[in-house]
A = this chain, B = another copy of it.
Amino acid sequence: MPYGRIKAASLFDKVTTAEQAAQLFKDGMVVGASGFTKAGDSKVVLDALAKRAAKEAIKITLMTGASLGHDTDAKLASAGALAKRMPFQVDRVLRTAINAGEVLFIDQHLSESAELLHNRCLPPVDIAVIEAAFIEADGSIVPTTSVGNSVTFAALAKRVIIEINTAVPESIYGLHDIFQPDDYPYRNVIPIVAPENRIGRRSIPVDIHKIAAIVFTDIPDSPADVAPPDAKTTAIAGHLLRFFENEVKKGHLTDRLLPLQAGIGKVANAVLSGFGESNFYDLRMFSEVLQDSTFDLLDSGKMSFASASSITVSAPCYERVFGNLQKYKDRIVLRPQNISNTPGLIRRLGVIAINTAIEFDIYGNVNSTHISGTNIMNGIGGSGDFARNAYLSIFVSQAASKDNRISHVLPMVSHVDHTEHDVDILVTDIGLADLRGLAPRERAQAVIDHCVHPDYRDALQSYFDRARQLRGGHTPHLLEEAFSWHTRLRETGSMK
C-alpha cells in the first residue's frame, strides 16, 4: 500500500477496502462525491456501493460536481441506488431512469449547488467521497483532475471517505487554487481580476476527525470522447472566427479577445481548435472544463493561461499533460466550481461564453436540456452561469439533424433554459445571427435569414409572417401552432 500518500500517520488505520467503506452508507443518506465532467470522480467506493445496492434496499441522494465517468451513474441507477441526483449527469442509463420518473433529478446551475448547501436550502450531506492525489499532514486533501464541489462537501459532510488515486502523480500539488467565499452575512470579495490570479490554498481543508475511511485506487479517469471536426462543426467554427475577426476590425475587441469559456462537446472543441489557425494570440480561458483543444492552444503558444474546474481530455492528451505537468503548472489552474462559475467573476472578467444548444427559436430563446419539452438530455450545467453574466453569450447548434428530419431552429423552443434576454449570438452550420441591439421582430428575421436550415426556411418565415399578421404583439406567436413542429415529429418522425 502506498502509505507515503498519507502524510498524516494518525490516519493509517483508516485505510480500508472499497467494500468496507461502502458499508458506511445507509439508506436515505445524502452523499456528496467528487467528479466533474468525468474527471476526479470516485472510482471504487461508489462502484462498491452500486454492487451493495444491487443486493440490498439502499437508496441515496447523490450530489457531485458534474458528470461522472466509468458508467458509475449507470451502475448506481441500474442498482436502484439513487433516490435523487443533482446537479448534472450525462449518462444514458441514468437519463432513462430520470425520464421514467424512477430517479428524481435536480438540474442546477453548477455555481449554485454549493450555495444551496452552505445556505442549508438542501438537506445536509452525510458522507463525502473525494478522490485525492494525497493527504497532507493536517488531513487536508490534495485533489486530482477536478475540484468541483469537493471543498463544500469536505467542509459540510459529517464523514469523509477519501479515495487516493495513485494513477495521478503527487506532483499535481500546486495545480489547484482552493478558496471558498464566507457564508452569509459575512461574505467578502472574491479577489480575482484575471484568470491567472491565485487566491487560495493548495489543498482542501477537512476536519481530520471526520475522515472515516481511506481507500487506494489506481484507475485513471475515463477519457473524453473527442470527435474529430466534421463539415458542420467546421462550418460553425468558421462563422464564429470570422465574427471575432470582424469584432476586432470594428474595434470592439483586440486580438487578445477576452477570457473564453467553451461548453462541452465537439462544437466547442472545433471552435477552440479553429483559434490555432487564427491571428488571435495571448488568449485566456475562464471556463469550467479544459479539453484537448485547450492544451493544443497552450502548446502552440496561442493561449497564455487557462482556468477551470476540471481537466477532461482524451487518453493521448492525458499522457501529454501528466507526462509534462511542470510545463503546464504555471499556465493552468483548477478551482472550485462555485468560483470558476460564479456570476460576479464572469461579469468582472468579461467572459466570452460559447455553449451548445439542443434547439433555439426565432426570438433567441435556447433549450439546452430537454428533448421535445419532456425528456432530459444532460442538464443546464454551467451554461446558465456563463450565458447570463458573460460579455458575449453565444450559442451554437447544428441547423438540422437526422437526415434533416429535425430542425434545431424552431418557432418556439419546447423548454427554455436561456431566455432571449441572455442570448447575443446564435450560430449554426448555415450561418450566424448577431442579435445584439435587436428587438424581437428583428431577431426573428435575423435568425430566419442566417441560421435555419434551407429545408425549413419557408415554413419558419411563414410562421413568423402569419403570427405578425394574425396576432401581432411585441413577440408575435401563434400559441396553438407554436409546438406543431415538435408534435409533427412525434407523429410522423419528421418536422417537415
**Interface residues, chain A, with chain B CB atoms under 8 Å away:** 84, 98-101, 104-109, 112, 115-116, 119-123, 181, 184-185, 187-189, 191, 193, 250-252, 256, 258, 342-350, 365, 370, 372-376, 380, 384, 388-389, 391-392, 414-422, 424, 436-439, 441-442, 467-468, 471-477, 479-480, 482-483, 486-487
Distance (whole angstroms) from the CB of A411 to the closest CB of chain B: 11
Residues of chain B within 8 A (CB-CB) of A108 are 421
- Residue of B256, B421, B483 near A482 (CB, 8 A) is B483
- Residue of B391, B417, B476 near A184 (CB, 8 A) is B391
- Check A421 against B107 for contact (C-beta < 8 Å): yes
- Check B348 against A187 for contact (C-beta < 8 Å): yes
Of all chain B residues, the one with the shortest Cβ separation from A256 is B185
Residues of chain B within 8 A (CB-CB) of A251 are 120
Interface centre among A122, A187, A417, A473, by most B CB within 10 Å?
Answer: A473
CA gap between A83 and B372 in the complex, in Å: 37
CA gap between A100 and B256 in the complex, in Å: 43
Residues of chain B within 8 A (CB-CB) of A187 are 193, 348-350
Residues of chain B within 8 A (CB-CB) of A416 are 365, 416, 419
Residues of chain B within 8 A (CB-CB) of A100 are 472
Residues of chain B within 8 A (CB-CB) of A191 are 189
25 A-B pairs, CB-CB below 8 angstroms?
A98-B474, A99-B473, A101-B441, A101-B468, A101-B472, A104-B441, A105-B474, A106-B439, A107-B421, A115-B347, A120-B250, A121-B437, A184-B350, A185-B256, A189-B348, A343-B347, A373-B473, A373-B479, A374-B476, A374-B479, A375-B472, A376-B475, A416-B419, A417-B419, A419-B419
Distance (whole angstroms) from the CB of A417 to the closest CB of chain B: 6
Given contacts A181-B348, A479-B487, 5 further A-B contacts (CB under 8 A): A99-B474, A101-B441, A184-B391, A370-B474, A480-B487
CA gap between A461 and B193 in the complex, in Å: 50
Given contacts A100-B472, A343-B388, A374-B472, contact A121 B436 (CB under 8 A): yes
Residues of chain B within 8 A (CB-CB) of A486 are 479
Residues of chain B within 8 A (CB-CB) of A345 are 344
Residues of chain B within 8 A (CB-CB) of A365 are 416
Distance (whole angstroms) from the CB of A209 to the closest CB of chain B: 23
Distance (whole angstroms) from the CB of A472 to the closest CB of chain B: 6
Given contacts A104-B441, A189-B193, A439-B104, contact A370 B475 (CB under 8 A): yes
Residues of chain B within 8 A (CB-CB) of A467 are 374
- Check B252 against A120 for contact (C-beta < 8 Å): yes
Given contacts A417-B419, A483-B480, contact A475 B348 (CB under 8 A): no
CA gap between A483 and B471 in the complex, in Å: 15
Interface centre among A344, A347, A349, by most B CB within 10 Å?
Answer: A347
CA gap between A420 and B191 in the complex, in Å: 31
Distance (whole angstroms) from the CB of A283 to the closest CB of chain B: 12
- Check B106 against A380 for contact (C-beta < 8 Å): no
Of all chain B residues, the one with the shortest Cβ separation from A250 is B120
- Check A415 against B188 for contact (C-beta < 8 Å): no
Residues of chain B within 8 A (CB-CB) of A441 are 101, 104
Of all chain B residues, the one with the shortest Cβ separation from A193 is B188
Residues of chain B within 8 A (CB-CB) of A442 are 104
Given contacts A419-B419, A480-B483, contact A185 B350 (CB under 8 A): yes
